[in-house]
Chain A
């Protein structure tokens, strides 16, 4: 389980997170929502030890984050940053194989190769495995990085706006993969998303931030409500039934 308390983060004089605390459930898709600058990405960065908070602590599976060995933590938790643009010319297969790095130190066993193969299959990247990542389209490259995160086989998978700049079918494809990871492999996926309807359709649990504060938190059904969403995004949002789902309208 991941929990954190008293998280304070400042960039210069500006406070981006104020005294944020929560205990997050496991084996769910947890969506972090909020307007631009609400502090979602910063919070994800702090949970994944990419950023140091000015105050507060993060606890992962009963151990404080700074007591984790780097390598050990990478077997439990991984993060995929916003548009991880790498200038390196490496092939898709090499990239995905690096997901096994924390487990192996570089030499892949047959078992590792199998896991890499599964990750390539799951993301549909098998046909592209010998292509250099700088020759792929933006969507394919994003898929390749997600395949790497899958191959890393961590309990917690954190994704910072993985749907940025992707078309609808690709976005839905990624969300379906994340669903499968939660259902079939009991992973916990934490994801920053801007499109509220993707959240409504795929997320189990929602953490809503506004102006650096954690405003609402709970099952998706309890958060996808017009009054709550309108407050978080400071704009009128209505919620309509769509089959057994909810759809948000805000144009």
Chain B
């Protein structure tokens, strides 16, 4: 309980910090007497940015957790399974077919493509004999690369490459009231993850154990993938690609809390939100008054942690 309270305090403190960083000077003291301009900035930019960071970070971390459990592989996440790339392809398809498509339609399109794409990834992995624990994410990364090349090709072809670029790199600086609210779909999905938590843990013990306990393995698999695909799609459409959160966070939490989804869910969501928040703050401070996109900051940290995980994998992950 004390742990949870201190976790919450840390998150609230950093959230406060995040709200007061920016080109327009707003200090905590101003809160008592906000000018209308300051209130405008708060409500239309700073707070939406904060909320989208918190929801995107936590829901992506949770979807990474689900993915690692149902594939029984610690290196599989929306980033390393190509799910994010499929989302982007889906968004591009929706832009090509219906240039004025509302965001929700883009999300639907991204969801359909990423769900099918991730299924394809799992089918390929199942076909590989003795697919090692490292080989599986490599297959995902390669597949993601191919999909990415495809997206880029068509984007050039139809001259929408600039439009696409905003989905290549996650960026919270573009978040303003009115264009980010879809991200909140992540909240009920995290609740769903809690309800299905035991099922995901059991599915993570293998198909045979799952069916001995009366679970239909494939149903759990599809439920999990659906949650992952929706979360990835809304975050790609609302804030862009946020890499590595789904990979790093569940692994770190697993080290001290284990893998029971129910037991780690809170910590995973918390750490996901915290990680993205810290990286966002770092990106905003590093070259102030300019910003580093969150995707770059996370990629630097994420690839370093990924390498550490792989090199230490012999003992605890093999």
Residues of A bordering B, CB below 8 Å? 48-50, 70-75, 78-81, 84, 86-91, 94, 98-99, 101-102, 106, 132, 134, 149, 152
* Residue B213, interface by CB 8 Å: yes
Does B209 interact with chain A (Cβ within 8 Å)?
Answer: yes
Within the complex, the shortest CB–CB distance from B312 to chain A, in Å, comes to 15
A-contacting residues of B (Cβ < 8 Å)?
Answer: 69, 72-74, 197-198, 201-202, 204-206, 208-209, 211-216, 254, 258-260, 262-263, 316-317
Q: Are A101 and B259 in contact (CB under 8 A)?
A: no
Which residues of the partner chain A approach B201 to less than 8 Å between Cβ atoms? 88, 90, 94, 98
Asked whether B260 lies within 8 Å of A90 as measured between CB atoms, the reply is yes
* A102 adjacent to B205 (CB under 8 Å): no
Tell me whether A86 and B214 are in contact in the complex, defined as CB-CB below 8 angstroms, given that A94-B263, A101-B198, A132-B258 are known contacts.
no
Q: B82 → chain A, closest Cβ, in Å? A: 22
Pair B211/A90 contact, Cβ less than 8 Å: no
Residues of A within 8 A of B202 (CB): 98, 101
- 7 tightest Cβ-Cβ pairs between the two chains A and B: A74-B214, A102-B214, A71-B214, A89-B258, A88-B259, A89-B259, A86-B205
Pairwise interchain contact B205-A48, C-beta atoms closer than 8 A: no
B-chain residues with CB within 8 Å of residue A88 when the two chains form the complex: 69, 72, 201, 204-205, 258-260
Given A88-B204, A90-B201: A75 touches B214 (CB 8 Å cut-off): yes
**Pair A98/B214 contact, Cβ less than 8 Å:** no
Determine if B209 and A101 form an interchain contact, defined as CB atoms under 8 angstroms apart. Answer: no
CB distance from B199 to the nearest CB of A (A): 8
Per the bound structure, the CA–CA distance linking A86 and B263 in Å amounts to 18
Chain B, residue nearest A45 (CB): B208
Query: Are B258 and A84 touching (Cβ within 8 A)?
Result: no
Residue of B nearest to A70 (CB): B214
Pair B212/A80 contact, Cβ less than 8 Å: yes
Report the nearest B residue to A100, measured CB to CB.
Answer: B213
Contacts A50-B208, A84-B209 given; indicate if A101 touches B263 (C-beta within 8 A): no
**A residues in contact with B198, CB < 8 Å:** 98, 101, 106
Chain A residues in 8 Å Cβ range of B206:
81, 84, 86
Report the nearest B residue to A105, measured CB to CB.
B198
Question: Which of chain B's residues have a CB closer than 8 A to the CB of A78?
Answer: 212-213
Task: Compute how far the CA of A73 lies from the CA of B259 in the bound complex, rounded to whole angstroms.
Answer: 27
Please indicate the chain A residues that have their CB under 8 angstroms from the CB of B216 in the complex: 70
- Across the interface, which residues of B come within 8 angstroms of A132, CB to CB? 258
A28 to B212, CA, bound (A): 21
A101-B214, A106-B198 as given contacts; A86 in contact with B209, CB under 8 Å: yes
Report the bound CA distance from A86 to B74 in whole Å.
12
Identify the interface centre among B72, B211, B317: most chain A CB within 10 Å of its CB. B211
Nearest CB in chain B: distance from A95 CB, A: 8
Contacts A91-B260, A94-B263, A98-B202 given; does A81 touch B209 at CB 8 Å = yes
Return 21 A-B CB contacts under 8 Å, by A number.
Answer: A50-B211, A70-B211, A70-B214, A70-B215, A74-B211, A79-B208, A84-B206, A86-B204, A86-B205, A86-B206, A88-B205, A88-B259, A90-B259, A94-B201, A98-B201, A98-B205, A101-B215, A102-B214, A106-B262, A132-B258, A152-B213
Nearest CB of A to B211, in Å: 6
**Bound Cα distance from A70 to B74, whole angstroms:** 28
Known: A98-B198, A101-B198, A106-B198. Is A87-B72 also a contact (CB below 8 A)? yes
Q: How many Å lie between the Cα of A50 and that of B216 in the bound state?
A: 11
B214 touches A90 (CB 8 A): no
The winner among B69, B201, B214, B317 for most chain A CB atoms within 10 A is B214
In angstroms, Cα B262 to Cα A49, docked, is 28
Contacts of B213 in A (CB 8 A): 74, 78, 98-99, 101-102, 152
Residues of A near B205 (CB, < 8 A) are: 84, 86, 88, 90, 98
Residue contact B259 to A74, C-beta cutoff 8 Å: no
Residue on B nearest A152 in the bound complex, by CB: B213
Report A239 CB to chain B, min CB distance, Å. 35
Bound-state Cα–Cα, A232 to B316, Å: 42
Distance in angstroms between the alpha carbons of A223 and B215 in the assembled complex: 37
Q: List, in ascending order, chain A residues with CB within 8 A of B259's CB.
A: 88-90
